[in-house]
Chain A
Amino acid sequence: MYDSSKPFIEFKNVTKTFDSFKALDNITLTIPQGCFMTLLGPSGCGKTTLMRQLAGFSEPDSGDIYIKGIRVNGLPPYKRNTPLVFQEYALFPHMTVKENITYGLKLKNTDKESVGRRFDEMLKMFNLAGMEQRFPKQLSGGQQQRVAFARALIMGQEVLLLDEPLSNLDAKLRVEVRTELRQIQRKLGITTIYVTHDQDEALSMSDLIAVMRAGKIEQVGTPWQIYFKPENRFVADFVGTVNFMDVVISGLFEDRLLINWQGSAISMNRMDYVLNPGEEASLIVRPEYISLRPAANNESADQENSLRGEILFYSFLGRFIRYWIKVKNQTFIVDDSNPSLSGAIEGEVIIALDRNKLHLLRNSKS
């Protein structure tokens, strides 16, 4: 898919300050050639700002940016060859679809014949045939968005920047477009940076995800690493829903770890955690890896990793039911992905944590 040995875009210690506010705080990030890299983070964390430094719309206060090993600091935007799809599309309102898409080629004095050929390719790729002569305001949101993609891709550059390009589409279209977009990216092998604050988008499309918070990068990793092995509480919490359990390590064995949570023993796979007995840590449990069943009258939770609790309330979401369950003095979120037709469970339940899917965070790291 991508070649991790070939860095294509590199940020080195990039810092950007607005007045006294640090929008980017010493960012170092490498994007390998052909990689689909997603910048994921809450609103205002600096994703767009990072993109704008790369495209050259503004200059970092310090730090360097490299494209294909060449330092681009100070280079004006029109010499950087970094086509960007803007969040609000930024189509030229006074140009037709055709003029919009071919504008970049025209600037490069591309000959008529090849402009026509490449334009036709784009029309086909983005399903825009028949709309060549329309103006942007005569298009639907989804169509405008495809024009914006076409306008960036027709340049045939090796890199593509996307700043929340799907945020103006409705939920269904968003899912469709993201699949399509990912296929096109794979086919063309373009190094892509994709900005979003939608975790589903990030997980489903990316080769790599960089999670950002307040101008800093918290973790870079594959969707699997980000989801199952978050390196800190912020990442765990931001990507997906999570239950945090404050635990104490009670035993280290060859193949498993024994931990103590409020007097209950929990065991999990040993993996390669570096820990000491007696150390405090956070246990991370996703709601879908907790199973539940109604508790018999005076049944106690005595199977492995089982706990007895009481359902506080629930919310029915179609594909699953989300329960809020009080166990000891903590409320757990538990997803039942196979709800029964007869309705939700009520009252006392036994929940069980899946020992294979538990993840520990050393407290010093969080």
Chain B
Amino acid sequence: MAKYLKKEKLKEIKRLGNEPLLLLTIVFIILFTSCFVIWPVVRLIALARPSEFLVLFTNSRWARSLANSLFMMVISTVSCTVTAFIFAYTITRLDVPLKRFFRFITLLPIVSPPFVVALSYILLFGVQGIITKGLFGLHVDVYGVFGLWVVQTVTFFPYAFSIIIGVMGKISTNLEYAAYNMGASRWQVFKDVFWPLCRPGVAGGVLMAAINVLTDFGNPIMIGGDLALLPTEAYMQIVGWYDMKTAAILASALMVPSFIIFILNRFWVGRRSYVTVTGKEISLTPFKPHFLVKWGLFTFCSIMSAFVLLVYGSLFIGAFTRAWGYDWSFTMANMGYVWEKFREVWNSIKYAALSSILASLLAMVLAYIVQKKSVGINKFLDFLAVLPSAVPGMFLGLGFVIAFNTPPLKLTGTGLIMVLALMFWNLPTCYSASIAGIQQIGESVEDAALNLGADSFQSFKDVILPLLRIPFLSGFVLSFLRSVTCLSVIIFIYSPRTTVGTASILGLVSNGLWGAAAAFTVVLISIAFSVLLLTNRFLRKHGGSLNL
């Protein structure tokens, strides 16, 4: 049987000889992706000899940061998932006010740089914080485990949320009614019907939160304080000691759990989530839960949302305040500062746009080949397209530094390296948008084109491409938002000439220039948000929607 399968694949591969263009495209994609995903990863891992990885366990500092990273991952993942579940449940199942507002709250962190919450948390609770110092006159140390935990929960619960609500929203309430009809109590229905159907979504949410928390760099560097974590330690090794090898070892340690999560997500969650997609039957309005449950959950969402608003509010105020904590008078000086550094904002936009266009194009071609062509290696190409999501952003960046600082591909310091790194980092995002789009296209529409005499290239150009405009756009926009607000990927590869907004903010924060940092952040968020709004409006007019 296995032998037979192989024969089939070989035959498909041989048939490619008839379509040189397709063959050429595939070869190019494989080489290109290998060069910019696999090669940097391999280079980074190969930097240290296998035996040298033992320092992760023998050196107490590294062992502690490994343990800390895993510990933070566990507690933050739990809190993110619980929060996300409550938000999703409230929005899909409860008849309470403010649901649109809650939904909006879950969007905010997605269009923001990864350290927004940390930055704002410092403004609120730090040494000069309005709440700690201003309101209560306290001097508390917000840096460390607790602060980071709160900040990561607020930052990453929306990621888990978007997956959980995707599954929860598709569960037909009819199923619950069927159970009530058979005499089940509210709790039994939740336990026996609703929860099992949600499980794939929750599992996906858990993994999504876990990977984000684990590889998070922006928040820990700002408020981690003395808490040693793998990403921040790796950064310190490079910035402080120029010790590439140790940094590579630390980053590689990150790669292991990250890869495990990737595999779990792909082969376990990915396969299961289909089970819950029920038919299109009209759902009844959800059964009313106990009023204590209802208002309890509502209160929880309200408090959480108020906190998120506070975060963004203080950031906004901070951007227009002369000296946070001392002099509250209004000023445009911070904005003026951003204006002076306009080149960096422009770099952010430029690299994000370029890398996103390239990533969407590559993703679309890949998705098309994987879905619509039998080329014998479809599974492999699919794997290649999603592989970058197994690589933490920071790891990818570090890999680029090592792989491309010598000829023949000496790219360090160029704009090209920024674009390429962001492009491959975004490939999986664009790829899933394209896959979703292609799956929408009728099974035989493309066969029809081939049947009428169009070769693969013509059918792609005349049929697939026009039908993929909307998925292309949404993939592009998602990728753009991610890139504008990205810190981890570029932190090691920017040069003075190619520096971008997020990198500058990190610099401003480490120099204690809170106002300018806040102003910079507000500008980046505004750009991201306007792009999001414009696209949403455009898509709604064309009958599509953005899937965040």
Contact = CB atoms under 8 A, between A and B. Distances in A.
Interface string A63-100: 00000000000111111011110111011111000000
Interface centre among B444, B449, B451, B453 (most CB of A within 10 A): B451
Given A58-B374, A107-B452, A155-B452, A88 B444 contact: yes
Contacts of B466: 94
Contact of B449 (A20, A58, A103): A103
Contact of B467 (A61, A90, A91, A93): A93
Interface residues on B, range: 20 to 34
A104 B11 contact: no
Interface in A89-121: 90-94, 103-104, 107-108
- By secondary structure, the A interface counts as loop
A93 B445 CA distance: 9
B458 A88 contact: no
Nearest to B467: A94
B452 A86 contact: no
Contacts of A88: 442-444
B451 A83 contact: yes
A144 B294 CA distance: 50
Interface in B513-538: none
A75 B442 CA distance: 24
B444 A76 contact: no
Given A59-B15, A88-B444, A78 B467 contact: no
A151 interface: yes
B447 A90 contact: yes
A92 B458 contact: no
Contacts of A104: 452-453
B448 interface: yes
A57 interface: yes
Given A59-B15, A93-B467, A86 B454 contact: no
- By secondary structure, the B interface counts as helix
B141 interface: no
Nearest to A82: B451
Contacts of B453: 78-79, 81, 104, 107-108, 155
A151 B451 CA distance: 11
Nearest to A86: B444
A92 B8 CA distance: 31
A78 B454 contact: yes
Nearest to A163: B444
A74 B14 CA distance: 9
Contacts of B467: 93-94
Contacts of B4: 17
A79 B452 CA distance: 9
Given A86-B444, A88-B444, A90-B447, A76 B454 contact: no
B11 A86 contact: no
B153 to A, nearest CB: 44
Given A92-B463, A93-B467, A151-B452, A74 B18 contact: yes
A82 to B, nearest CB: 7
A354 B455 CA distance: 58
B460 to A, nearest CB: 12
B442 A77 contact: no
B192 interface: no
Interface string A128-155: 0000000000000000000000010001
Nearest to A94: B466
B462 A103 contact: yes
A349 interface: no
Given A86-B444, A94-B467, A74 B450 contact: no
A74 B15 contact: yes
Contact of A84 (B15, B19, B451, B462): B451
Interface centre among B448, B454, B466 (most CB of A within 10 A): B448
Interface residues of A, number: 33
Interface centre among A17, A57, A87, A90 (most CB of B within 10 A): A90
Contacts of B11: 59
A239 interface: no
Contacts, number: 80
A76 B445 contact: no
Contacts of A79: 453
A333 to B, nearest CB: 37
Interface string B184-219: 000000000000000000000000000000000000
A293 B458 CA distance: 68
B135 interface: no
A83 B443 contact: no
A91 B467 CA distance: 12
A298 B374 CA distance: 73
A104 B451 CA distance: 9
A45 interface: no
A93 B440 CA distance: 12
Contacts of A92: 445, 448-449, 462-463
Contacts of A55: 447, 451
Given A58-B374, A90-B444, A76 B18 contact: yes
A181 B451 CA distance: 20
A187 to B, nearest CB: 22
Contacts of B447: 55, 57, 77, 84, 86, 90
Contacts of B463: 92, 94
Interface string B71-84: 00000000000000
Contacts of A108: 453
Interface in A222-271: none
Contact of A77 (B8, B445, B450, B462): B450
Interface in B423-451: 442-445, 447-451
Given A20-B1, A88-B444, A90-B445, A76 B19 contact: yes
A94 to B, nearest CB: 5
Nearest to A107: B453
B19 A90 contact: no
A74 B10 CA distance: 13
A108 B458 CA distance: 12
Nearest to A99: B462
A163 to B, nearest CB: 9
Interface string A151-164: 10001000000000
A17 B5 CA distance: 10
Contacts of A83: 451-452
A103 B443 contact: no
A78 B462 contact: no
B442 A78 contact: no
Given A58-B374, A94-B466, A107 B458 contact: yes
Contacts of B458: 78, 107
A147 B285 CA distance: 42
Contacts of A94: 463, 466-467
A91 B451 CA distance: 12
A17 B4 CA distance: 10
A104 B444 CA distance: 16
A78 B450 contact: yes
Nearest to B11: A59
Contacts of B8: 61
A155 B453 CA distance: 10
A86 B445 CA distance: 9
Nearest to A75: B18
A-B residue pairs, 9 tightest by C-beta: A104-B452, A90-B448, A77-B450, A90-B444, A107-B453, A86-B444, A94-B466, A90-B445, A78-B453
Given A74-B18, A86-B448, 6 more contacts: A88-B444, A92-B463, A94-B463, A103-B462, A107-B454, A151-B452
Interface of A: 17, 19-20, 55-59, 61, 74-79, 81-84, 86-88, 90-94, 103-104, 107-108, 151, 155
25 contacts: A19-B1, A56-B450, A75-B18, A76-B19, A77-B447, A78-B453, A78-B454, A78-B458, A79-B453, A82-B451, A83-B451, A84-B451, A86-B447, A88-B442, A90-B445, A90-B448, A92-B448, A92-B462, A92-B463, A94-B463, A103-B449, A103-B452, A103-B454, A107-B458, A151-B448
